Structure 1
Amino acid sequence: MTIEADSLEKLRTRTSEKWRAYPDDVLPLFVAEMDYPLAQPIADALIAAVRRSDTGYIGPDGRAKHAFAEYAGDAWNWAVDPAGLTTSTDISTVIVESLRLLIEPGDRVVITPPVYPPFFGMVTEAGGVVDEVPLTVGDSGWALDLTGLERAFASGARAFLLCNPHNPLGLVHTAAELSAVADLAARYGVTVVSDEVHAPLTHSDASFTPFLSVSDAAREVGIAAHSASKAWNLAGLKCALFVAASERTQRILDRLPFEVEERTSLFGAIATQAAFRDSRDWLRDVLVAVEDNRALLTRLLDHYLPEVRYREPQASYLAWLDFRALDWGVDPSALALDEARVALVPGPDFGEQGRGFARLNLACSPSVLTEAVLRLAAVTP
């Protein structure tokens, strides 16, 4: 079965950020929301909750946790103990609250730009200081800089905020790289917080490896952050998971304030269970559509904007576009918005390494993606 994006007319009735940030003449390909209709099992579960007036506080119900554990086993051959899971509102909360437990004010936390822009603020919100170890890039693509990570760990960094898969590149780190990170972290007393929200969106030509699955060292030094929010388009429903896989990390998470889990949305937990347990076919169809658009974007750029460089992502629905061969300045998204009426995410938001880049969301209809590229190609700075 194929899945099709909703029409622009229908999409513009939505009230989320993607459809309220700009006027109707702008094609919004910026924030990570998808244009596909909600998975029917999720819609049914939420509607049923409303009909029974089930709109109260989150209760002692572990079904969302068990659903995630079952999905992790089936999708990634990763044995997750539901007892090692704690829920909260969203991935950002999981990251910030984990870091609060792991560092003292002023401690350095490593991030690897170009990377998801809120990472910079999450570190400072938790009281830390950002320590940048940029990804390396070569003919074979982007990769973690293991030498740079060791240098940072050895010089006193206390935590590493890992993006796995890596946003904005759609880069899926290899098991060997992750194992090396775990060994370095264990050697230097660093704890790794692995943001794995894009993991269910790994494409058919790649294989996702959960950080906590790679070795005993990883389980000792790692806390993972998971959610159904990106893969099933549930960001507004507010449910994410802390994942611990060792006695050490479980003891750390046991120190979380009671209210961190109590802030989980009941609707978020209901939707999370329905996503991981009952909406896998929907996700499979979405990935087919996303991979088709991934290839379509390659063809469109080759034909209409050959100066723009683009490596097809291995995960998620985000494309990292290199405009540096064009005279579009440090932030190409500004010109794209002003002249083409296409909203992209500014590359510099992802760090200095994003100067001359912009991020495009391709989880839309082929016609919208085509129109966006045609508009961009018509720009004459």
Structure 2
Amino acid sequence: MTRIPHEPPGEPNPLRALTLDRLRHRTSMKWRTYPEDVLPLWVAEMDVPLAEPVVRAVTEALELGDTGYPSGTAYAEALAAFAGKRWGWDGLAVERTAVVPDVMLGVVEMIKLVTGPGDPVIVNPPVYPPFYQFVTHMDRRVVEAPLGADLRIDLDVLEDAFRRSVAGGGRAAHLLCSPHNPTGTVHTAEELAAVAALAERYGVRVVADEIHAPVVAGGVRFVPYLSVPGAERGLALMSASKGWNLAGLKAALALAGPAAAADLARMPEEVGHGASHLGVIAHTAALRDGTAWLDALLAGLDDNRRLLTGLLAEHLPGVVHHPGQATYLAWLDCRALGFGDDPAKAFLSRGRVALSSGIPFGTGGAGHVRLNLAASPEVIEEGVRRMAATRNGTHDGPREQRP
């Protein structure tokens, strides 16, 4: 399977398009959780205008009054075409897909299909906090198989977790984050094939959250879990949500490997009713017509990763940062700064910059923060300046009024 490289961006960097004053008119979580003097670099929302094809598709639907219930397979067809061109994967079968409200609710439905109440679900911390929340809320047990020191899957640890999880003869699932949030790790084809082999050996069902799949750094190859040998019984969730900033337009797709088609067919029909018809339209337009915008975004994110690396080296050399291969998130080890297990508290109270605390990400999260890179370079610079000022317990306000 070959990967098509990013096209040279034919559009301007969307991360530079909006002023800070304009962004503060937004009413979403990112911009309403904290007071206006706080610079928000936390939750996974991007500081970008929507891609023009998405705006056009949604506007045309509104003008037509096309606001009913979702129907058809256009979304799955658009994703299959995107996967073929972007990742060289021609194995996404439209007939083995189903629309779900969003990726995490789709994860819930997939785990319900392959496990029962009280069964274990293995995760790889530090990992996206809703993995813990949604799993426990549906009466399953979280079993941790932490990443290694290199922030990659530790296959020996994973095998031990699989062995322990099925020791009593019950069912188990592995909730795989791919690409990994918060580390930005992109699992290789070899790693994913090894996971699939372990899952088959122990009878563990893999459910892959691949929401960040479109957001990879230049020169990095994303490999869909269902494309690797041995993953025929796997299930996966994808959407355009993270790649095109569409979290408020709910719609995602559940995908089944060839040997999991019967499982997906058992998903209750009413689950698909939870997706927004406008969301389906938006995600379809993004995947079909929004790749030039995406490539401009990815180039901007590559620039921001390099910028952050330099800023940390200059202003916060004690922070350990391994630039992610994917996502627009940066995982920062702040333990050397002496702020304790939750440095995000100090950055917020003394620096007036909001970052995600590492603690809810599970084992390996204490002493860490997650920083959202999907902002203008000026905002990234201001954020690091505020973080650095936190060491002295001072903050003298923003230097820039524009991102």
TM-score (norm. length: structure 2): 0.91
Of 263, 272, 277, which residue of structure 1 is paired with 2:274?
Answer: 263
What residue number does 1:144 align with? 153
Q: Tell me which amino acid in the other structure corresponds to 1:342.
A: V
8 Å Cα contact 1:347-1:357 kept in structure 2: yes
Answer yes or no: is 1:223 the counterpart of 2:232: no
Aligned pairs for 1:178-193 (under 5 A) are 178-193=192-207
Q: Tell me which amino acid in the other structure corresponds to 2:62.
A: V
Distance 2:141 2:276 in 1: 30
Distance 1:264 1:359 in 2: 29
SS in 1 for 2:243: coil
Answer yes or no: is 1:23 the counterpart of 2:23: no
What residue number does 1:89 align with? 101
Distance 2:373 2:268 in 1: 38
Q: Tell me which amino acid in the other structure corresponds to 1:148.
A: V
Aligned pairs for 1:316-331 (under 5 A) are 316-331=327-342
Deviations 1:266-317, CA, capped at 9 Å, x for gaps? 0110001101000000000000111100000011011111111111010011
8 Å Cα contact 1:162-1:195 kept in structure 2: yes
Of 27, 46, 54, which residue of structure 2 is paired with 1:34?
Answer: 46
The percent of aligned pairs where both chains have the same amino acid is: 49
Aligned pairs for 1:300-315 (under 5 A) are 300-315=311-326
Aligned pairs for 1:217-256 (under 5 A) are 217-220=230-233, 222-246=234-258, 248-256=259-267
8 Å Cα contact 1:5-1:364 kept in structure 2: no
Shift in Å, 1:125: 2.5
Distance 1:7 1:192 in 2: 42
Shift in Å, 1:72: 0.7
Q: Tell me which amino acid in the other structure corresponds to 1:24.
A: E
Distance 2:110 2:133 in 1: 14
Deviations 1:9-49, CA, capped at 9 Å, x for gaps? 11111111111111111110000000011000000000111
Shift in Å, 1:105: 1.1
What residue number does 1:13 align with? 25
Distance 1:373 1:307 in 2: 13
What residue number does 2:180 align with? 166
Distance 1:101 1:307 in 2: 45
Distance 1:351 1:288 in 2: 31
Shift in Å, 1:323: 0.6
Aligned pairs for 1:292-303 (under 5 A) are 292-303=303-314
8 Å Cα contact 1:96-1:125 kept in structure 2: no
What residue number does 1:120 align with? 132
Distance 2:24 2:73 in 1: 36
Shift in Å, 1:159: 0.7
SS in 2 for 1:200: coil
Q: Provide structure 2 residue ranges, at least 5 long, that are not aligned to the other structure.
A: 1-10, 167-171, 394-403
8 Å Cα contact 1:29-1:361 kept in structure 2: yes
What residue number does 1:352 align with? 363
SS in 2 for 1:23: coil
8 Å Cα contact 1:164-1:173 kept in structure 2: yes
- The runs of at least 4 consecutive aligned structure 1 residues that moved more than 3 Å come to none
SS in 2 for 1:67: helix
Answer yes or no: is 1:154 the counterpart of 2:163: yes
Q: Tell me which amino acid in the other structure corresponds to 1:162.
A: L
Shift in Å, 1:205: 2.6
Shift in Å, 1:258: 1.2
Deviations 1:354-375, CA, capped at 9 Å, x for gaps? 1100000011011111011111
Of 194, 210, 213, which residue of structure 2 is paired with 1:196?
Answer: 210
SS in 1 for 2:241: coil
8 Å Cα contact 2:355-2:369 kept in structure 1: yes
SS in 2 for 1:160: strand
Answer yes or no: is 1:102 the counterpart of 2:114: yes
8 Å Cα contact 2:216-2:325 kept in structure 1: yes
Shift in Å, 1:202: 1.0
What residue number does 2:220 align with? 206
- The change in CA–CA distance for 1:338 and 1:295 in structure 2 (over 3 A counts) is same
Distance 1:152 1:338 in 2: 38
Q: Tell me which amino acid in the other structure corresponds to 2:344.
A: S
Distance 1:291 1:37 in 2: 18
Deviations 1:142-196, CA, capped at 9 Å, x for gaps? 2111111111222234110000100000000111110001011011111000010
Deviations 1:325-371, CA, capped at 9 Å, x for gaps? 11111100001110111000001110131110000001101111101
What residue number does 1:135 align with? 147
What residue number does 1:2 align with? 12
Answer yes or no: is 1:44 the counterpart of 2:53: no
TM-score (norm. length: structure 1): 0.96
8 Å Cα contact 1:69-1:81 kept in structure 2: yes
Distance 1:310 1:206 in 2: 18
What is the aligned length?
374
8 Å Cα contact 1:2-1:289 kept in structure 2: no
Of 64, 70, 73, which residue of structure 1 is paired with 2:84?
Answer: 73
Distance 2:227 2:138 in 1: 26
